[in-house]
Amino acid sequence: MPALEQEVLDVIRRIFATELEHKGPVELAHDLQRDLRVDSLNAVILAVGLEDHFRVRLAQEDTAGVTTVAELVTRVAERVRERREDPAE
């Protein structure tokens, strides 16, 4: 796994453990709703935590259709790469 994707996964795991008080593992294959019980409030907490850490903005369309941790990692990493390419944002 590339370093950025690993960092995103690590941050997601930290948010689950600290902010969402999730006690189990958080793996790439986990379904956010079914396996990790992410509801709308948890999704906002997760998005804000990721935005704050990586200094990116996640629009609703960024997360539309995201069902697994792996998909979330990919979307966040894409936004981080875009921001790094365009430092004006």
- Domain parsing of the chain, residue ranges: 3-84
Eight-class DSSP state of 19: T
Q: What is the pTM of this model?
A: 0.92
pLDDT of amino acid 86: 76
Burial of 72 (0-12, 13-18, 19+ CB in 10 A): buried
Nearest to 72 by CA among 10, 17, 28: 28
- Give 3-84's CATH code, choosing from 3.30.70.980, 1.10.1200.10, 1.10.20.60, 1.10.10.10: 1.10.1200.10
What is the mean pLDDT, run by run of 10 residues, along the chain of 89 residues?
A: 96 97 96 96 95 93 90 96 78
CA separation for the pair 68, 89 (Å, rounded): 27
pLDDT digits (tens, 9 = 90+) for 28-41: 999 999 999 999 99
